[in-house]
Amino acid sequence: MIKLPKLILASSSPRRAEILTAVGWEFEKQTADIDETELPGEKPDDYVRRLAREKAEAVAEKNTDALILGADTIVVIENQIVGKPKDLDDARRMLKMLSGHWHEVLTGVALVRITAENLETKVGMQRTRVKFAELARAEIEFLIELGEPLDKAGAYAVQAQAALFIEQIEGDYWNVVGLPVNLVYKLFKNEK
């Protein structure tokens, strides 16, 4: 029998909370307030790793000797980071970009523990490729109206209405939902 340690999830994401709950991982949530601005010349892989680490470290500073999980998910198409849309027009633009194309979903994951002696940090990243079907205008509007696109990277949720339009996934499905929980477990096993 394995024993999963209690985590503090440095996120307000309901999807991350649902995934941890589904696998039986005990946790509490504390939102990290950090600046998520991309640094000049920063690559998408480095960006998601940095944000995951900074989120976890921000929460760890208030929770000595607790195990903190930070994560950040982005969509990348043609080497361009596509974050969360700022409004519905931006969501439409994103869905048009994704229509008929492959894109990547990247999630940076960090486990951080601050003790009196030191700071322990484990950081990883998961990459998954996703292929959208060609979307008609009515299908984009369907996703805009019913898919709650504003709080989702790339303006879609693979586990909801967008599932109708996903033709292929190469890699970790849970990464596309928002938390590659297998990677979290591997980092935890390595952490001891």
Length of the chain: 192
Active site residue 72: yes
Question: What is the per-residue pLDDT across 68-124, written as a single tens digit (0 to 9) for each?
Answer: 999 999 999 988 898 889 999 999 999 999 999 999 999 999 999 988 788 899 999
35/41 Cα distance (integer angstroms): 17
In 3D, which of 2, 3, 35, 30 has the Cα closest to residue 17? 30
7-191: which CATH architecture? Alpha-Beta Complex (3.90)
- pLDDT at residue 117 in the model: 81
Please report the sign of the dihedral spanned by the C-alpha atoms of residue 152, residue 105, residue 78, residue 52.
positive
Looking at 33, 35, 72, 87, which residue is catalytic? Answer: 72
Query: What is the model's pTM?
Result: 0.92
pLDDT, tens only, 125-182: 999 999 999 999 999 999 999 988 988 989 999 999 999 999 999 999 999 999 999 9
